Amino acid sequence: MGLAEKANNIDTKVTLCGIELDNPVLAASGTFGYGREFAELYDINILGSFSFKGTTAEPRFGNPTPRIAECTEGMLNSVGLQNPGVDAVIREEMPNLAKIFKKPVMANVCGGSPEDYAIVAEKLDHCEQIGWMEVNISCPNVKRGGMAFGTDPEAAASVIGAVRKVTKKPVIAKLSPNVTDITEIAKACEHAGADGITAINTLLGMRMDLRTRKPVLANGMGGFSGPAVFPVALRSVYQISNSVDIPVIGCGGIQTAEDVLEMLLAGATAVQVGSANLVDPFACKRIVEDLPEVMKEYGIPELATMTRRKSK
């Protein structure tokens, strides 16, 4: 706890899957890279943690451009999991990350089959600084025509089960909102061995270019994120937290410290800030610094009392 928090008797600490965080604010995967660019602007150790760039077994160049488009109260992206591959991440990114961030970090694991996910997770399991494995089950299942793993309970469970077998670290399933009942996916992941849930990933959306009469994104559709999705994310967190007995990380449209508290009231143990980082690189810093004063304003002396039920 910092001096200001102690002076005001405000405690921002929470516990996520057995690991204590100074505060519940994490930067979401895909919006924070490996932390280097942000570390040039401020001390990123003020964050609770962050989830680094989605990692696959082999290097990926990503989707063709254009792959990002602005929308009212949000943005579309179809980056396509561009990353250097797990071996390069371990060899190059993890040593550099350790120089700028001194806390446990979250790895975001991706793949086209349960076997792919397991390969990535098994290799990352040996990285001491990785505290959690966040499993992105919004990836397309190459064996089932590209349908995302996260849209089917059985497929989601197969991925979580495969990762669970190869890592001793907490496994967190990152869920897609593009389903009929997100609680069924969450329960399937819990039964397969997940230690936590991140909700939500991006909504599926698109924009049309009136001049070309074609979709703005080269891929046609992409993930919609930003403040417009916050009510959907909040609803999902509320439903999931009342359906499973594992902690939930709230993600989707968080812009302010007030949004953080709403997520925790809905049942989240921690939160992830995503698109806000792309609009304002100081977004996470601002939210972390504002949180104690907002807690004081609403008469919340410690966050642990709000999150204790499913923190472990």
Pairing of strands 248-251, 19-21: unpaired
DSSP conformation class of 296: H
Q: Which of 17, 110, 127, 139 is catalytic?
A: 139
Q: Contact at 8 Å (CB) between 272 and 278?
A: no
Closest CA to 40 of 124, 130, 101, 84: 101
Closest CA to 124 of 159, 168, 189, 82: 168
* Tokens coding 46: 């003020």
Give 210: exposed, middle or buried? Use CB within 10 Å, 0-12, 13-18, 19+: exposed
Contacts for 107 with CB less than 8 Å, ≥ 6 apart: 51, 52, 55, 121, 124, 127, 130, 132, 133, 134
Using DSSP, state whether 208 is helix, strand or coil: strand
Task: Transcribe 127-183 into DSSP letters.
Answer: -TTEEEEEEETTSB-GGGTT-BGGGSHHHHHHHHHHHHTT-SS-EEEEPPS-SS-HH
139 is catalytic: yes
Contacts for 289 with CB less than 8 Å, ≥ 6 apart: 46
Contacts for 253 with CB less than 8 Å, ≥ 6 apart: 74, 225, 226, 227, 228, 229, 230, 231, 233, 259, 275
Distance between CA atoms of 13 and 283, rounded to whole angstroms? 19
Task: Just list the catalytic residues.
Answer: 139
